[in-house]
Amino acid sequence: MGVVQAIQLDTGNLATAVGDPRARGKGLVI
C-alpha cells in the first residue's frame, strides 16, 4: 500500500507542477 500511496503522491505533485486543476491534489486522496 505504501508504494501505491507514494505513486499517488508523485502523480499529485506532477499534476500540480503541470497545473492541471482536475488532477491537482489527487495524491492526498487515500
DSSP label at 30?
A: -
The pTM (predicted TM-score) of the whole model is 0.24
Domain count across the chain? 1
Phi, psi of 27 (to 5 degrees): -65, -20
Burial 8-29, CB ≥16 within 10 A → b, else e: eeeebeebeeeeeeeebebbee
Please report the pLDDT score of residue 6 as a whole number: 64
Q: What is the pLDDT at residue 18?
A: 58
pLDDT at position 30: 46
One-letter amino acid identity for 10? D
Q: Which domain holds residue 27?
A: 1-30
pLDDT digits (tens, 9 = 90+) for 1-30: 566 666 666 666 665 555 555 655 555 554
